[in-house]
Amino acid sequence: MSYCTKERACSDLAKPPVNEPREPEQFLMQAPQGNPLLLSHTLQELLSKDSVQVELIPEKKGLFLKHVEYEVSSKRFKCSVYRRYNDFVVFHEMLLQKFPYRMVPALPPKRMLGADREFIESRRRALKRFINLVARHPPFSEDVLLKLFLSFSGSDVQNKLRELVQGVGDEFMTCRLATQAKDFLPADIQAQFAASRELIRNIYNSFYKLRDRAERIASRAIENASDLLIFGKELSALGSDTTPLPSWAALNNSTWGTLKQALKGLSVEFALLADKAVQQGKQEENDVVEKLNLFLDLLQSYKDLCERHEKGVLHKHQRALHKYSMMKKQMMSATVQNKEPESVEQLESRIVEQENAILTMELRNYFSLYCLHQETQLIHIYLPLTSHILGAFVNSQIQGHKEMSKVWNELKPKLSCLFVGSSNMPTPPLSPPEGNFFSN
């Protein structure tokens, strides 16, 4: 395995095998061969770890509140459990507590009042993306937290999750490689971290714009379906009009009757066209927009991790160094002023404690960079998802236009009577030749 194991028993495991990078050199930070830092996973391996479905179940209505529950079904564990949003919240908190140096995807926001169907559906999709990213993340996928969340059917899942983490310590405390992380990192790790962060920020911005455009395209397909349906209904209404024909139009009575008969039946074809357009829009929402959202969630979790690294362990390390420097100055001042031996001993003891704290923080800082290195690789393992997304988009367009074209072609012969006058002679073309429309 390339990732650190999570339990203390991991020290009994064999040394990880040599893993060669699968991605192009420009995408991976360089490290010596045999370095357990490098990942050997492929996108297909990650996606095959599990497939989790999150479906909305009927609301349970209490005296004052309505509860939204989800059925969470794991293909890997072959079971289904019922979870509420707060269960996801506790699970998320425990993941962050146990894996502070890993990409933990964010949860969708909680909305207390006025949660409409659109919001509930949007949150269901976001929860599904969250749990699938977690279930496919190498350390998370092998951790007891995930197994309990996806398979425990009791009603006290939140306390069970907390009990698993309580007193165990985070990944730094349980990983056998934590104190050796510095040995596996390249010398220019800080520069590489900054470059990777900038690259992934740019990738995120581009995918964010792609997702917005894909949403607009899918929405237009659904709006087009509504317009086609109304268009067909209006033609049907025109064909069903029962207003008596005035006497001055009696000469064209047979023509109008024929036209009405033809118009009346067109709503069926337009309804079919509308249905095809809806199918295309829904398919693009599921296969294109959702996959873009999944990748955006992953990229956002990387950005959040970078911020945790800088504001967390790195910031604490810098503060500890500053505090240590102040203590040393106090020690020098106390020595110069010949203060009482007891006060000097206490200061020396505090300095030793601070030195130990700094050493621990330095080790955590290197372990955080070690994890960031692996999480960066994980992002690049997911990058080929781009081809899946583009393939789904192209296939949706091809299939959608093909099916709609078939309906349009079947509709055309049914319009033949509209192009024949009362004398059974063809009428002029529907659109005059270019340049003759405004001629005198």
Tens digits of residue pLDDT in 175-212: 888 889 999 999 999 899 999 999 999 999 999 999 99
Look at residues 288, 291, 295 and name the one whose alpha carbon lies nearest to residue 379.
295
Q: What confidence category does residue 24 fall into, taking pLDDT thresholds of 50, 70 and 90? A: very low
pLDDT score recorded for residue 21: 35
Residue 325: per-residue pLDDT = 61
| pLDDT at site 29 | 37
State residue 438's pLDDT score.
45
Give the model's pLDDT for residue 311. 82
CA distances from 285 to 195, 218, 248 (A): 33, 6, 54
- Residue 30 banded pLDDT, cuts 50, 70, 90: very low
CA dihedral of residues 123, 160, 378, 17 (deg, nearest 10):
-160
Phi, psi for 415 (deg, rounded to 5):
-95, 0
Rg, the chain, Cα only: 33
HSE-CB of 237 using CA atoms within 13 angstroms: 6
Give the least confident one: 265-274, 327-336, 381-390, 407-416.
327-336
- Determine if the pTM surpasses 0.75: yes
Alpha-carbon torsion (315, 319, 324, 326), positive or negative: positive
pLDDT confidence band for 223 (50 / 70 / 90): very high
The end-to-end CA distance of the chain, in Å, is 83
Distance in angstroms (rounded) separating the CA atoms of residues 23 and 283: 31
Average pLDDT, the chain: 81
